[in-house]
A and B are shown apart, each in its own frame.
Chain A
Amino acid sequence: MALLGQRSDVGEFRRRYRWIVLTAVVMFLILVGRLAQLQLVQGDLHRAQARKNIVRERSLATTRGVIRDTQGRVLAANRPSYNVHMTPAEVDLSETWPTVVKLLALEEPEKGELERKIKEIQALPSKGLTPQEEKRRGQQILLKVDVDRDAVAYLETHARELRGIEVSPQPVRYYPYGELGAHSVGYMREVGAEDLVRLEERGYRAGDRLGAVGVERRWESYLRGVRGFKKIVRGVSRRDDVQEVEARYLEEPRRVEPIPGRDISLTLDIDLIASIERAFHGQLAGAVVVVDVRTGRILAAASKPSFDANVVSGGSGVKAVAETFRRLNADPLKPSLDKTISAAYPPGSTYKPFSALAALADRLLDPTTEVDCHGGYEYGKRFFRCTGVHRKVHLHEAIVQSCNTYFYELGARVSIDKLASVGLDYGFGVKTGIGINPEARGRMPTRSWYTRRYKEAFRGGFTLLSAIGQGATTVTVLQLALAYAALANGGTLYQPQVVRSIETSDGTVVQDFPPRVRRLIEPDQEHLGWVKAALEGVVTEKNGTAYKERSRDVDMAGKTGTAQVSHVTPRGVDPGKVWYFNRDHAWFSGYAPSRSPEIAIVVLVEHGGGGGKNAVPIAMRVVRDWQKMKEKRLSAKDDAAGDKPN
Chain B
Amino acid sequence: MAVAGRMMFRRGPAVDMKLLLGVVAIATLGLVNLYSATSVYADTETRARLGDIYVTQVYWMVVGGLLAILVAAIDYRHYERFANLVYAGGVFSCSLVFVLGNSMRGAVRWIQIGSATIQPSEFMKVLLVVMMAKHIHNDHKAEPRTLVDLAIPGVLVLVPVALVMAQPDLGTGLILSLTAATMLLMTRIRRRTLAAIVAAGVGVMWLGWNHGMKQYQKDRITSFLDPEHDKTGIGWHALQSQTAIGNGQMFGEGYMQGTQNQFGFLPDQFSDFPFAVFAEDWGFLGCLLLLSIYCFICVYAIHVASQAKDRFGAALAIGIGALIFWHAIFNIGMAIGVLPVVGVTLPLFSYGGSSVVTTLVGLGLLMNVSMRR
- Seen from chain A, the residues whose Cβ lies within 8 Å of a Cβ on chain B are 1-3, 6-7, 9-10, 12-14, 16-17, 20-21, 24-25, 27-28, 30-32, 34-36, 38-40, 42-47, 49-51, 53-54, 234-235, 238-239, 249
Contact = CB atoms under 8 A, between A and B. Distances in A.
A27 B329 contact: yes
B288 interface: yes
Contact of A24 (B263, B299, B306, B333): B299
A14 B308 CA distance: 11
Contacts of A38: 242, 245-246, 336-337
A265 B305 CA distance: 91
Contacts of B260: 50, 53
A319 B182 CA distance: 73
5 contacts: A14-B306, A24-B325, A39-B245, A39-B250, A53-B263
Contacts of A239: 41
Contact of B259 (A2, A44, A54): A54
A7 B306 CA distance: 10
Given A24-B325, A49-B243, A13 B306 contact: yes
A17 B306 contact: yes
Contact of B310 (A6, A39, A54): A6
B214 to A, nearest CB: 24
Nearest to B285: A39
Contact of B287 (A9, A39, A46): A39
Contacts of A31: 291, 329, 332-333, 336, 338
Interface string B311-354: 10010001000000100010011001110000000000000000
Nearest to B142: A12
Contacts of A14: 306
B283 A39 contact: yes
B248 interface: yes
A1 B306 CA distance: 15
A17 B291 contact: no
A40 B140 contact: no
B41 A25 contact: no
B243 A35 contact: no
Contacts of A44: 249
B188 interface: yes
Nearest to B246: A46
Given A46-B243, A249-B259, 10 more contacts: A1-B309, A10-B311, A17-B302, A32-B287, A39-B283, A49-B247, A50-B260, A51-B259, A53-B243, A54-B263
B193 interface: no
B244 interface: yes
A39 B109 CA distance: 35
Interface of B: 41, 43, 140, 182, 185-188, 240, 242-250, 259-260, 263, 265, 279, 283-284, 287-288, 291, 294-295, 298-299, 302, 305-306, 308-311, 314, 318, 325, 329, 332-333, 336-338, 373
Interface centre among A13, A27, A45, by most chain B C-beta atoms within 10 angstroms, is: A13
A47 B249 contact: yes
Contact of A235 (B41, B140, B302, B338): B41
Contacts of B373: 2
Nearest to B296: A28
A32 B247 contact: no
B249 to A, nearest CB: 4
A35 B333 contact: no
Contacts of B41: 235, 238-239
Contact of B246 (A3, A21, A45): A45
A35 B295 contact: no
Contact of B336 (A1, A27, A35, A40): A35
A349 B284 CA distance: 89
Contact of B265 (A25, A36, A40, A53): A53
A522 B240 CA distance: 76
Contacts of B302: 17, 20-21, 24
Nearest to B185: A16
Given A13-B186, A34-B338, A39 B249 contact: yes
A9 B41 CA distance: 57
A50 B247 contact: yes
Contacts of B279: 35, 39
A334 B373 CA distance: 104
B314 A13 contact: yes
A32 B291 contact: yes
B169 to A, nearest CB: 23
A21 B299 contact: yes
